[in-house]
Structure 1
Amino acid sequence: MNTDKIKIFLDLAESLNFSRTAQNMNITQSAVSQSISSLERYLNTKLFYRSRKEVNLTPAGQLFYQGMQPVITQFNKAVTHAREVAQSVNTLLTIGFSGSGYDRYAINQLIHEYRKVRPEVNIFLENYDHRTMVARLKQGFCDVIS
């Protein structure tokens, strides 16, 4: 069972219309039918009563809907949060340096050149003694140290 099938099920449970669900999910009506049939086989129960004129949830379908709706909502939140974290990680660069005159000069030059290539990256400088920088690097607080 995958989340796409569950999302299709949830949409169909709300719309009670195979054509509308196909349109909402941007797939064919046949794909909706196949996904629901596959889910029903997996659960070993019918989720919908189907006739030519209407579609309704079975009692099992109603219980499955009530149980899965908060799960998918939480899943979507977790995916969104993970993507936000991944984006911020990719756009942050933390550099630890000792603060010597050469470090300041070299890092400024490197940052200047780096920003030409990756202007979207936010660069943070942290000034620590060498032992502290190594510890912060190992803990993941710094991406690079000099």
Structure 2
Amino acid sequence: MAMERQDIEVFLALAEELHFARTAERLRLTPAAVSQSLKRVERRVGAPLFTRTTRRVDLTPLGRQFHADLEPAYAQVQAAIARAVSTAHGLSGNLRLGYMSAAVTSPLLALVDSFRAQTPDISVSIQETTLADLYGPLRRAEVDLCVLPLPVAEPDLTTGPTLLSEAALLAVPTTHRLARLTSITPADLGDEPFLFAQNLPQYWIGHHLPATASSARTTRLAGFQEVLAYVASGHGVAVVGDQTSRLYPRPGLTCVPLEATARFDYALTWRTDAIPPLASAFLTHATT
């Protein structure tokens, strides 16, 4: 009599958890279903695989031997199935991912790790892009997907799932009057000049400017680091994401929460007319 796949999975999970309720929760089964599955396995083997009391569950010596033999064999079968599915769907080769913003790396790499576990025959390369060349790597086909700050209102680009959302802060010189506030409202801003990286679309700047600052003076600089340097030197203020305080601290720069201002959202983005099968599969994985 063959052993069903679910029964194998129940045995392996229970051997790790040594707890019926946790095993049931992990496999999305009822505890009764776990018990019934284990009984089928033990009938097939012909001897108990676990000792069970009201306080604990342990593997028997036979159970430990069976687990040691079965676990690597089952992992090999699963890997073979995953490779076959990947090949059948054209999921091979290299996936090129871009990202703009250091804070995105944690959720992005977590997705990459789980995606590679499901598609073991692919490779993934990632590269950091710049705020001053926001859409260039995608349009030059240097990357297949790129995590970009929203909004992206470009007719040749499409956005998908959001990987990171963070509050807006106002970066100001530490000696500035606004640095003493615990939070800043649009009414507090006055006629402060705003600094942005060059080549950003006007709609992107308008989206991130506080409502009362829509007609404010704006200055464009080479990139994000230059923006922070100019702020610290007293040349203006900048709307930045919450990550700035953690990842880009510098002397003379203070970041204060900014009220009634759009959050910074980062979403997977691709060329509308060109998305490879591997990139499409990654999008599906990120969504689910």
The TM-score, its normalising length taken from structure 1, stands at: 0.60
Q: Distance in 1 between matches of 2:31 and 2:83?
A: 32
Q: Distance in 2 between matches of 1:26 and 1:6?
A: 15
Which of 16, 19, 41 is residue 17 of structure 1 equivalent to?
19
1:21 CA drift (Å)? 0.3
1:86 CA drift (Å)? 1.2
Name the residue aligned to 2:86.
Answer: 84
Once the two structures are superposed, residues 28-84 of structure 1 have per-residue CA deviations (whole angstroms, 9 ceiling, x without a partner) of 111100000000001101000001110000000000000001011101101100110
Which of 51, 57, 60 is residue 58 of structure 1 equivalent to?
60
Which of 39, 45, 63 is residue 43 of structure 1 equivalent to?
45
Q: Distance in 2 between matches of 1:50 and 1:24?
A: 19
Structure number with higher strand proportion? 2
1:121 CA drift (Å)? 8.5
Name the residue aligned to 1:141.
Answer: none
- In structure 2, runs of 5+ residues without a counterpart are 92-273, 278-288
Name the residue aligned to 1:4.
Answer: 6
Q: Distance in 1 between matches of 2:9 and 2:43?
A: 16
User: Are 1:27 and 2:18 an aligned pair?
Assistant: no
Work out the percentage of aligned pairs sharing the same amino acid. Answer: 37
The TM-score, its normalising length taken from structure 2, stands at: 0.31
Q: Aligned-residue CA RMSD in angstroms?
A: 1.7
- Secondary structure class of the residue paired with 1:56: strand
Question: Which stretches of structure 1, 4 residues or more, deviate above 6 A after TM superposition?
Answer: 119-122
Structure number with higher helix proportion? 1
Q: Distance in 1 between matches of 2:76 and 2:13?
A: 16
- In structure 1, runs of 5+ residues without a counterpart are 90-118, 123-146
Once the two structures are superposed, residues 104-139 of structure 1 have per-residue CA deviations (whole angstroms, 9 ceiling, x without a partner) of xxxxxxxxxxxxxxx9788xxxxxxxxxxxxxxxxx
Amino acid in the other structure paired with 1:34: Q
How does 1:87-126 map onto structure 2 within 5 Å?
87-88=89-90
Q: Distance in 1 between matches of 2:21 and 2:13?
A: 11
